[in-house]
Amino acid sequence: MADSSLLADASIRLETALKYVNISEDAIERLQYPKASVTVSIPLRLDDGSLKIFRGYRVRYDDTRGPGKGGVRYHPNVSLDEVESLAFWMTFKCALMNLPYGGAKGGITLNPKALSKHELERLSRGYISAIADFIGTDVDILAPDMYTNATVMGWMMDQYSIIQRRITPGVVTGKPISMGGSQGRETATSVGAFQVINTLLPKFDQSPERTTVAVQGFGNVGAMLAQLLSQVGYRVVAVSDSQGGIYAPQGLDIPSIRRYKMSSRSLQAVYCESSVCNIVEHEVISNAELLNLKVDVLIPAALEKQITVENADQIQAKYIFEVANGPITSDADSILEKQGIRVFPDILVNAGGVTVSYFEWVQNRSGLYWTSEEVNQSLKERMTVETEKTWSIAQEFGVSMRTAAYIHALNRLGEAMDAKGTRDYFQSSQ
């Protein structure tokens, strides 16, 4: 495996799953390194007239099962190592969900909050101009990720179309509806995670009314998931964002908190009636303290590497559903397992986003667009089917759900790679 800390950590999960699959040495060798990566410099003329250079990345880890697929993130910590790791996870996520895609990822190293909207648009278009030869509807398809949204995706699709001199909606998913986006795409990751939780918790006799939940990361995905859970009776007792968190053992009114945050950009435990919001009794906590709460369900929905060997023994939740990418390091996995904590992996739990991205790509290529009801029903069916298959594999081999997810994905990847011929095939008599 390549010398990159995040990617090496991610690959440990692959090595564990390899013990339970029967795929060729050729396939294993091909999965050791990303297929292609590009690093670009993007010059940006700032609003004050000065020039600044930003570093951008795009990695296509594997495209055996179809074109690369993966988001573009804007964050100060974006690096080639991180993008490679995320593309690796996307490879297995797409195979796990049986999507005709390989894994890819991209990003720009920046603080998006430090740029104006005009600067962000110019930077987004500059990124596409720099990587235009590396992407395409049948080559590598972009999507929103951290600090990118439908508007940014619209800029990117438009810029690529300008370069190609034709309308190319299929090169980007997560676009505005008016530009060929899909109904249900903005909530897809949350809805998909909700379906996974609802499929798995009943297997442990864990009903919503008797289940407490803490959500780290009250952004678009975490906030929507918290609301979906609270609507069906789960007691969400803690949420947090980048500034810190709030905790109320009696439960939080998530819709009120979401409305308050959208209007004030701050996180407060409030209860709202119409436009009047009153602060309710709560405790202010840090993100680290939220992770250590004694709750039934912990949902890391922020950044990677939140639960590590340093704090894993302090986790008190019974079940962890990884909505963020890579929130638990591989060395923390074994500690959590020894404590009897069940972890449900990111490549399954947060796969709703890429699944509806696939639906959007299909709609763009066919010119036929689905209703939100059709999208959500198709999403529910696929998330439920693949969750049940992963659960069955975990029971069959007596392994964790993470290992089972990689086994499931590896079997599909290995079959596709071996279809092109293996050492045994070429060495056999003609």
Q: Is 105 a catalytic residue?
A: yes
**Measured distance CA(304)–CA(324) in Å, rounded:** 7
262: amino acid identity, one letter: M
255: amino acid identity, one letter: P
**Measured distance CA(354)–CA(144) in Å, rounded:** 10
Q: DSSP secondary structure string, 319-364?
A: EEE--SSS-B-HHHHHHHHHTT-EEE-HHHHTTHHHHHHHHHHHHH
**DSSP letter (8 states) at residue 428:** S
Q: Which residue has the tokens 């101009």?
A: 129
**Measured distance CA(214)–CA(246) in Å, rounded:** 10
Contact indicator for 318, 375 with CB cutoff of 8 Å: no
Q: What are phi and psi of 39, to 5 degrees?
A: -120, 130
**Measured distance CA(385)–CA(372) in Å, rounded:** 20
**Measured distance CA(70)–CA(378) in Å, rounded:** 20
CA distances from 197 to 46, 91, 296 (A): 44, 23, 12
Q: What is the dihedral of CA 17, 20, 24, 26, to 10 degrees?
A: 10
Contact indicator for 320, 341 with CB cutoff of 8 Å: yes
To 5 degrees, how large is the angle CA 164–CA 74–CA 117? 75
**Measured distance CA(89)–CA(98) in Å, rounded:** 14
Q: What are phi and psi of 150, to 5 degrees?
A: -60, -40
**Measured distance CA(132)–CA(126) in Å, rounded:** 10
CA distances from 221 to 131, 192, 203, 301 (A): 28, 10, 25, 7
**Measured distance CA(124)–CA(142) in Å, rounded:** 12
Residue among 183, 267, 177 at smallest CA distance from 222:
267
Catalytic residue among 105, 175, 261, 318: 105
Contact indicator for 355, 188 with CB cutoff of 8 Å: yes
Q: Strand 68-75 vs strand 270-273: parallel, antiparallel, or unpaired?
A: unpaired
Q: Which of the residues are catalytic?
A: 105
